[in-house]
Structure 1
Amino acid sequence: MFEKKSRPEAATTRQGVPQFYHAEVAEHFKQAMRQAGIEPPPEIIADGKIHRFSANGRRGDDAGWFVLYADGIPAGAFGDWRSGITGTWRADLGRRLSFGEEAEVKRRIEQARRLAEEERRRRAEQAAALAAAVWKDARPAGVDHPYLVKKGVRPVPTLRELDAADIARRLGYTPQARGEALQGRVLLAPVRVNGKLATLEMIDEVGRKSALAGGAKRGGYWATGPLPDKGRVVLCEGVATALSIAETLGEPVAAALSVGNLQAAGEAIRAAKPGIELVLAADLDKATGKPHPEAVKAAEALRCPLAAPNFGPNRAQEQTDFNDLHIARGLDAVRESFALAQGPAVKLLNASEVTPEPVTWFWQGWIAKGKLHVLAGKPGTGKTTLALALAAIATKGGTWPDGTRCHAADDVIIWSGEDDPADTIVPRLMAAGADLKRVHFVTDVTGANGEPRPFDPAFDVPLLARQLERIRPALLILDPIVSAVAGDAHKGNEVRRALQPLVDVAARVGCAVVGITHLSKGTNGRDPIERVTGSIAFAALARVVMLAVKNEFQDTDTPPRLLVRSKSNIGPDEGGIGYDLERVEATVGVWTSRIRWFGAVEGNARVLLARAETVPEEESDSELEDAKEFLASLLADGPVATKIIQAEANGAGYSWATVRRAQKALGVEAVRTGGLGKSGSWCWRLPKMLNDPLRCSHSESEHLR
């Protein structure tokens, strides 16, 4: 957050918005640009106008742009036309913006984007007009052009040349490459975007390359001749490479003119000519000698074969493309490399080559190493407490709830997006007898800029995988597992794509993963698998699904709560474990809940659930009563922040209005802690929880919006 101006006469605007020093605004704006991957210019001008600058540090480049407003609430936008990166920024006032302020900031940012788009379009049109004029002035490329002679290739009709001095006069500036002016006879390769001339690729006698300032190149390409409507079309990077391949194959070849444009150019060619068979010709990475990673990525995205030059074992580091191969070993070597081109293919594994392996059980019949499990239940069933009780057994090598033995003590990793380690998770682990030295919490992620940010299971599983491979835990708990889905958790395809990295890393590390989630409201009596909140893909991907329920139909022969095994693809899929929750003092003055086990229960999951959830006729099953039970259970361990209560209620299917009525009926108190402003928070607590520590939200109002 900014340091506000201290001069009394300039402390605030007439609307009560703090004013900030220009240097401060500029520096924070620069930081936002760096975080987006753009190197900002030395000077930032905050005048609401578009400014261009070199985004890559090279002289003559002006593909970077920004628009910044300093009056009112400082805000702006920025980008790089060459890379396609864009970003926005606004000053942090240390408070939530009003509706009017948010609308004004949004209006300014949209205006900045419009200015940038208008400028980009104007520059592109100007570049296209200059390209047409220069092309018209140019003459056919000569066979004696020094660059073509050096590369051992012949000119084609789609190449022309013009002296550098004539080009500079026509353009009004001298084209440069890395700060050096193009000189002598300059080859001209017309780049077409959507079938229209957009810019020119310019190559001088020694190989310096440049393009027209402001010209559109993304999705554009140059071709050695007219591309066919059917048959093979080869797409490569550079002009000389395209000429060597075209001479070898005797067919037109397209050049994207940069590795970063391969995918966009391939998509454009396919869109214009859907009947062609695209082949990507990759340059090699100098250091590794393998196809450039960006070329591989483009081929995978385009689902097309990838050809790479084969220099053999004695490749020199500077030999990277098909033109280099042409010069070093001749056209036959180029032809042989294309014969080896490989496209995407499905691999088959013969069953006779597979060695059967038994399932490696962590808890026999319930939790398997290397597999995904789901633990679901309604609010108040103690889902998280159950998972932590199992974690405690894992860390001590104790006895499982069914009396079987956990053979070795192992480490456990826990990520919780809902409960605080200090006042909830650790006390519950202590109460369950866990070896705390074997428990690890996922907290923050160190970003590329060195700054910490919250762990996001929807995006950070690859980073978590490194820690799993280092620690090799027996158990990973994710609470809630729905947070691992960045898209719509009710769409099967999105859930499968999101959870697959988790499934893969579990199998690779040999770690059992238990994801905690809710049961959908109003699903009593339905197939247990269909009751898991979200898409059925959650239950389908999990090898074992466990449901936790309260036993509403209690008698002397049944436990108060049941953990039921409702699905298993790898073992028995029936039976359950009886349990209950009890309050204990984990350490002096810290009260929490723990599991008390009742042993195994026999029966089919659907039958066990139907019996447990049958409410006696005289008992109320109204939505308000459910909400009261939900709220009382949530607050049983102490005060909880209102934002967490709202999130839990939403996940359980309760409206906020119903929860508020339940609050009133139970006499739940809303209290504020931490002072006024951003440092303060609202929490709810049961009437007897007056001395408990508070876990608070950052809302300015106790009524959440």
Structure 2
Amino acid sequence: MTEAARTLHLTRASHIKSLRQPWLIPGLIPLSTLTVCAGRGGAGKSSWVLARIADLTHGRLSGDVRTPADALIVGPEDDWSAVMVPRLIAAGADLERVHRFEVRTTYEGGESSTSSPVMPLDVDRLREAIDVTKAGLVMLDPASSIVSGDLNKREDVRAAMDRLATVAQETRTAVVIVSHFNKGAGSVSDKLTGSAAFRDAARSVLVFAEDEETGDRIVSVDKSNYSAAAGESLAFRLESVDVPTDDGELTQVARVIDLGVTDRTVHDVINRGSEDEQDDRNAAQAFVLDYIRSTEAQEANAADVIKAGRGAGFNESEMKNARRRCRNPKIQSVKSAFGAGWVWQLDHEGVTEGVKGVTTLRPDTFDTLADTFARPPAIVSLFPSPHQPQETS
């Protein structure tokens, strides 16, 4: 076979039009690229993605796809008749807009069989499926079933992920890959099953865990290349519902009940009970409180607090999480009116300042995100829209 010729190709940046990054769900799932949803078994990651697919089929999402759109699902682990379709019904999906994506192989003699696609072998079939359905979201669940090769080899994983990313970009589709956690405590960033290439290739990584104290499920933004949502979390609950089946019976499946923004994180939940982890969290909170209390105005530029924290051995994520966990007093993050970025300030009273010098009621006196989720037809942005100012420190 003749080797393809490779030649130099240069393009001036001035000849490339700049574009805003599009979103399926602002802060959570970007369009035109890859998102990984990871967690232990039973954490609710697949159910949560199916709930978002249901929203997509009815045009209820707040991003750049606001009219009903189709979705593709690769789900070889679950029986479609007994599990997948009932779960979609429970989520309220328009089943006409949801497609099981398989590959048909025809053999000599005319016999054929269907199987789940593997990447990168079947990436052209995926592109064809997106072109036919105009799908806004592709769900691949689980990651271990869609990679051709060794899940732990960076080269094999990267070959699959890079081709998937190319298709996502060319079709302006969100590709969501569901993955599992390794066992044990520790940093959630290091817990994805298989090669680290899964996390590296994804532009957004959402991690899931069950809060055993409440039964709630937590989804945290572990990585977000296109927004400032990293470190933020949402809570949801799984409730069991009876779904009538076509054979005249009832089957029980889980349905997602969105609860809105929470200050609990997956990192906190999976490391709860670790004495060393508790000491680290307390130390970070104490540092933030002491730093702000040492100022005359009882407030400080967020970037200054984070910089000082680094000098004391804490990373940026630990500083931001510490600020969110502080109680009695709380530490509010507000936008400075003088172009100085974000300010962290102690909140001793029942009011806070949204912009410095302008006093407003506390945010919790307004509708919560949980209220908005309960109010059809549209879901608002779960985190600040890319069109609005976002906290970067």
TM score, norm. by length of structure 2: 0.64
Q: Unpaired segments of 5 or more residues in structure 2?
A: 275-393
Whether contact under 8 Å (1:478, 1:514) holds in the other structure is: yes
Query: Structure 2: how far apart are the matches of 1:361 and 1:615?
Result: 33
Q: Which has the higher contact order (CA 8 A, sep 6+)?
A: 2
Whether contact under 8 Å (2:76, 2:116) holds in the other structure is: no
Where 1:517 maps in the other structure, the secondary structure is strand
**Other-structure match for 1:539:** 199
Is 2:106 the partner of 1:427? no
**Other-structure match for 1:299:** 3
Q: Which amino acid aligns with 1:542?
A: A
Q: Which amino acid aligns with 1:355?
A: K
**Other-structure match for 2:138:** 476
1:453/1:347 CA distance change after superposition, 3 Å: same
Query: Structure 2: how far apart are the matches of 1:399 and 1:488?
Result: 36
CA RMSD, 1 decimal: 2.1
Query: Structure 2: how far apart are the matches of 1:406 and 1:468?
Result: 15
Query: Structure 2: how far apart are the matches of 1:610 and 1:564?
Result: 8
Tell me which moved more, 456-465 or 366-375. 456-465
Equivalent residue in structure 2 for 1:445, among 104, 116, 123:
104
Residues 42-74 of structure 1: CA deviation (Å, up to 9, x unaligned): xxxxxxxxxxxxxxxxxxxxxxxxxxxxxxxxx
Query: Structure 2: how far apart are the matches of 1:615 and 1:414?
Result: 34
What's the offset of the Cα at 1:602? 4.3
What's the offset of the Cα at 1:589? 1.2
Whether contact under 8 Å (1:552, 1:614) holds in the other structure is: no
Q: Which amino acid aligns with 2:18?
A: P
Is 2:201 the partner of 1:549? no
1:405/1:596 CA distance change after superposition, 3 Å: farther
Q: Unpaired segments of 5 or more residues in structure 1?
A: 1-262, 264-297, 301-342, 618-705
**Other-structure match for 2:13:** 351
What's the offset of the Cα at 1:576? 1.3
Whether contact under 8 Å (2:186, 2:271) holds in the other structure is: no
Q: Which amino acid aligns with 1:425?
A: M
Residues 361-413 of structure 1: CA deviation (Å, up to 9, x unaligned): 1111111111111000001112211111111011011256xxx8962111011
Query: Structure 2: how far apart are the matches of 1:442 and 1:387?
Result: 16
**Other-structure match for 1:331:** none
Whether contact under 8 Å (1:462, 1:501) holds in the other structure is: no
How do 1:42-191 and structure 2 match up within 5 A?
none
Where 1:493 maps in the other structure, the secondary structure is helix
Query: Structure 1: how far apart are the matches of 2:204 and 2:78?
Result: 24
Which structure's CA Rg is the greater one?
1
What's the offset of the Cα at 1:491? 1.7
Query: Structure 2: how far apart are the matches of 1:566 and 1:447?
Result: 42
**Other-structure match for 2:289:** none
**Other-structure match for 1:502:** 164
Is 2:255 the partner of 1:594? yes
Query: Structure 2: how far apart are the matches of 1:398 and 1:410?
Result: 10
What's the offset of the Cα at 1:616? 5.0
Query: Structure 1: how far apart are the matches of 2:13 and 2:103?
Result: 44
Residues 205-238 of structure 1: CA deviation (Å, up to 9, x unaligned): xxxxxxxxxxxxxxxxxxxxxxxxxxxxxxxxxx
**Other-structure match for 2:41:** 379
Where 2:152 maps in the other structure, the secondary structure is coil
Query: Structure 2: how far apart are the matches of 1:405 and 1:495?
Result: 29
Whether contact under 8 Å (2:71, 2:137) holds in the other structure is: yes
**Other-structure match for 2:368:** none
Residues 535-558 of structure 1: CA deviation (Å, up to 9, x unaligned): 11101111100001111354xxxx
What's the offset of the Cα at 1:560? 1.5
**Other-structure match for 1:326:** none
1:428/1:354 CA distance change after superposition, 3 Å: same
Where 1:299 maps in the other structure, the secondary structure is coil
Q: Which amino acid aligns with 1:513?
A: V
How do 1:661-672 and structure 2 match up within 5 A?
none
**Other-structure match for 2:189:** 529
Whether contact under 8 Å (2:36, 2:199) holds in the other structure is: yes
Whether contact under 8 Å (1:414, 1:441) holds in the other structure is: yes
Whether contact under 8 Å (1:552, 1:613) holds in the other structure is: no
Where 1:355 maps in the other structure, the secondary structure is coil
Whether contact under 8 Å (1:370, 1:512) holds in the other structure is: yes
Where 2:200 maps in the other structure, the secondary structure is helix
Query: Structure 2: how far apart are the matches of 1:441 and 1:542?
Result: 23
Query: Structure 2: how far apart are the matches of 1:398 and 1:350?
Result: 39
Query: Structure 1: how far apart are the matches of 2:260 and 2:124?
Result: 38
Query: Structure 2: how far apart are the matches of 1:581 and 1:347?
Result: 52
Percent identity, aligned pairs only, is: 30
**Other-structure match for 1:571:** 227
Residues 407-440 of structure 1: CA deviation (Å, up to 9, x unaligned): 2111011110100111111111111111111111
Q: Which amino acid aligns with 1:531?
A: K
Where 1:498 maps in the other structure, the secondary structure is helix
Query: Structure 2: how far apart are the matches of 1:362 and 1:419?
Result: 25
Is 2:217 the partner of 1:561? yes
Q: Which amino acid aligns with 2:243?
A: A
Whether contact under 8 Å (1:445, 1:453) holds in the other structure is: yes
Equivalent residue in structure 1 for 2:66, among 407, 410, 423:
407
Is 2:117 the partner of 1:456? yes
Whether contact under 8 Å (1:553, 1:615) holds in the other structure is: no
Query: Structure 1: how far apart are the matches of 2:189 and 2:74?
Result: 24
Where 2:88 maps in the other structure, the secondary structure is helix
**Other-structure match for 1:580:** 237
Query: Structure 2: how far apart are the matches of 1:532 and 1:382?
Result: 16
Is 2:20 the partner of 1:363? no
Query: Structure 2: how far apart are the matches of 1:397 and 1:349?
Result: 38
Q: Which amino acid aligns with 2:148?
A: A
Query: Structure 2: how far apart are the matches of 1:351 and 1:496?
Result: 26
Q: Which amino acid aligns with 1:568?
A: S
Whether contact under 8 Å (2:23, 2:64) holds in the other structure is: no
Is 2:127 the partner of 1:465? yes
Equivalent residue in structure 2 for 1:487, among 138, 149, 160:
149
**Other-structure match for 2:282:** none
1:448/1:353 CA distance change after superposition, 3 Å: farther
Whether contact under 8 Å (1:482, 1:517) holds in the other structure is: yes
Query: Structure 2: how far apart are the matches of 1:358 and 1:399?
Result: 18
Query: Structure 1: how far apart are the matches of 2:226 and 2:172?
Result: 15
Residues 269-328 of structure 1: CA deviation (Å, up to 9, x unaligned): xxxxxxxxxxxxxxxxxxxxxxxxxxxxx132xxxxxxxxxxxxxxxxxxxxxxxxxxxx
Is 2:238 the partner of 1:612? no
Whether contact under 8 Å (1:552, 1:615) holds in the other structure is: no
Where 2:227 maps in the other structure, the secondary structure is coil
Query: Structure 2: how far apart are the matches of 1:347 and 1:600?
Result: 46
Whether contact under 8 Å (1:545, 1:568) holds in the other structure is: yes
What's the offset of the Cα at 1:471? 1.3
TM score, norm. by length of structure 1: 0.36
Where 1:452 maps in the other structure, the secondary structure is strand
